[in-house]
Structure 1
C-alpha cells in the first residue's frame, strides 16, 4: 500500500495523527526534501528505507514505489503541506491507476493555513473578503493565460501567492495593473510554523523592498488584501445575538 501524506506546514507536530501513524509504520518513505521538515523523519522506524525526492525524477520515484509493492512493503510518499496544492501527486496517481497500484491520500495542514497562523489572520472577514485565491506567478513553469495575476487582482479578494518569492517586483506590478492599489495591505511569511519562521506586514508596493531588507529569497508566501489589516469588517452573523440560527433564537426574531 502507498500512502500519500501531507507533512503539514513545517512544524513536526502539525502532521495529522493519521499521517504520523503512517510514518511510524512505513517500510519506505519518499519525502520532498526541498520543503519537508527533516525532523518528521524521526518518526520513521528502524530499518525504514528513506529517499529524498528532491534528487529524483518522477520515473525514479515510481520505480521505488513499484519495488516496494513487489516486496509487499508499505510506502509513504511524504509531500509538503497538503499535497493537493502544488504537490504533483496526480501524475503519480495516474500511473498507479494504470498499473493497478493501491494507494490512498492523507491530507495535511497547508502552508497557507500556517501563514495565517503566523499573523493571527482570518482570510475571510465579513464585508472585507469572503474568498481566498491561491495562485502563483509564472516562472520557469508556466501558468495558464486565463489565470493571470491581473485577472485575479480584479476581484479584490484575499490572495495567497505561492512559489513566487524571487519575482516580487513583477508580482507587485501585476497586482497594481489588475486593480489593487500600491497601498493595499500585504504580508510575507517565511517558513510558516518552522522554528525560524518570520513574518512581515507591508503593502503591495513594498513587497520586493521588504523581502530584500529582510533577506527573504525563497520558502515564503505572500498574502495580499484588506484582510491583512483586519479592520473595517462586520461582526459575524453566526454569533450575533439578534441573528436566529438552527440552534438558537435571536433577539430580533418575531
Structure 2
C-alpha cells in the first residue's frame, strides 16, 4: 500500500505560486512570499522589472531563471517542467500579479496540464508611489475613489474605458505603463476638463533603493519636468485632487475619529450635528 501511495505522490506535480514581488524594494515582498522563496525548488523572476535581490532568500540548489528574454510559451513550458520535479515553484512577478500581469494567460495552460496554482498578492507600484511621495489617494470630501488604469497604446482600451472618459470623474487616477505616452495622458486630462494647474505626480522606480525619482508638476508642465529628469520607463503617473493636501492650511477631517462619532469601540464625547455612517476600521 505504501509503495502505491509513494508512486502516486511521485507523479503528483508541485504547486506553481504566482508571487507579487512588490514595487522594487526586495524588503517589500510579503512574509508569505519570502517564505515560499525560502522553500522553493525553482524560481522564475521577471528580471526586467523585479530586482534579482528578491531571489536572495532562495535555498541552495534552487533553480533560478530570468524570464526577461523568454516568450510566453517558454515561460509556461519552464513552469510545467519545474512543477514536475519540485513541490514548490515560484513565479516572481512585479507589483501584484492581478494588476497588468499575465496571470490568467499563464494559469490557463497550467490548469490544462493539471498543475495546482496559487497566488500571493504584492504591493502595487501605485501604493508604493503614493508612499514615496507621502500622499493619500483618498481624502474626505475631496475624492473617495481611485481608478487604476493606463492610456491606450499597443493594447487597445475596452469601450468606455478611455482615459478621457475615466478622467471626467475627477477622482484619483493611477496611470500605469504610460510614461512614454505622457503626451496622450495630459491631452486626455485636458479634454476631460482638468485645470492646467492640476497637480500631477510621477514616481520612477518607486521604492527601488538608490533609483527612485519623484517628480512633481502640474498638467501644464509635467511633460517638461519628466523630460528634464530623463525618465522614460517604469513610472507611475498619479493625477488627483488630493495631491499636496499635506500642505493645505485646512482639511476636512475623517468623521471616524471625530469626538462626536459613536461607534462600537468608543462613545461620542461631544455633540454631533449629524449622524455619521462610517464604520470603524
TM-score, shorter chain, exceeding 0.5 = yes
State which of 195, 199, 202 in structure 2 corresponds to 1:188: 202
Deviation digits for residues 211-253 of structure 1 (CA, Å, limit 9, x no counterpart): 1011111111011011112145410001111111221111226
User: Which SS does the other structure have where 1:155 is aligned?
Assistant: coil
Return the alpha-carbon distance in structure 1 between the equivalents of residues 225 and 272 of structure 2.
50
Query: Are the aligned partners of 1:169 and 1:207 in contact in 2 as well (CA < 8 Å)?
Result: no
- Asked if 1:239 corresponds to 2:257, the answer is yes
State which of 48, 65, 68 in structure 1 corresponds to 2:62: 48
Per the alignment, residue 3 of structure 1 pairs with 17
For residue 207 of structure 1, report the CA deviation from its aligned partner: 2.0
State which of 40, 51, 59 in structure 2 corresponds to 1:26: 40
CA root-mean-square deviation: 1.4
1:113-152 equivalence runs, <5 A: 113-152=127-166
Return the alpha-carbon distance in structure 2 between the equivalents of residues 45 and 229 of structure 1.
44
For residue 69 of structure 1, report the CA deviation from its aligned partner: 2.0
Per the alignment, residue 221 of structure 2 pairs with 206
Q: If the length of structure 2 is used for normalisation, what is the TM-score?
A: 0.87
- Asked if 1:215 corresponds to 2:230, the answer is yes
Query: Are the aligned partners of 2:18 and 2:119 in contact in 1 as well (CA < 8 Å)?
Result: yes
Return the alpha-carbon distance in structure 2 between the equivalents of residues 233 and 93 of structure 1.
45
User: Which SS does the other structure have where 2:174 is aligned?
Assistant: strand
Return the alpha-carbon distance in structure 2 between the equivalents of residues 126 and 116 of structure 1.
17
For residue 61 of structure 1, report the CA deviation from its aligned partner: 1.0
Query: Are the aligned partners of 1:150 and 1:179 in contact in 2 as well (CA < 8 Å)?
Result: no
Return the alpha-carbon distance in structure 1 between the equivalents of residues 85 and 229 of structure 2.
49
60-69 or 75-84, which moves further after superposition?
A: 60-69
Per the alignment, residue 101 of structure 1 pairs with 115
Query: Are the aligned partners of 2:43 and 2:92 in contact in 1 as well (CA < 8 Å)?
Result: yes
For residue 33 of structure 1, report the CA deviation from its aligned partner: 1.1
Return the alpha-carbon distance in structure 2 between the equivalents of residues 106 and 5 of structure 1.
5
- Asked if 1:60 corresponds to 2:74, the answer is yes
Aligned length: 254
- Asked if 1:155 corresponds to 2:182, the answer is no
Query: Are the aligned partners of 2:216 and 2:222 in contact in 1 as well (CA < 8 Å)?
Result: no
Unaligned regions of 5+ residues in structure 1, if any? none
Query: Are the aligned partners of 2:80 and 2:110 in contact in 1 as well (CA < 8 Å)?
Result: no
Q: If the length of structure 1 is used for normalisation, what is the TM-score?
A: 0.96
- Asked if 1:229 corresponds to 2:231, the answer is no
Query: Are the aligned partners of 2:180 and 2:233 in contact in 1 as well (CA < 8 Å)?
Result: yes
Return the alpha-carbon distance in structure 1 between the equivalents of residues 162 and 218 of structure 2.
20
For residue 43 of structure 1, report the CA deviation from its aligned partner: 1.3
Bigger helix share: 1
State which of 72, 84, 92 in structure 2 corresponds to 1:78: 92
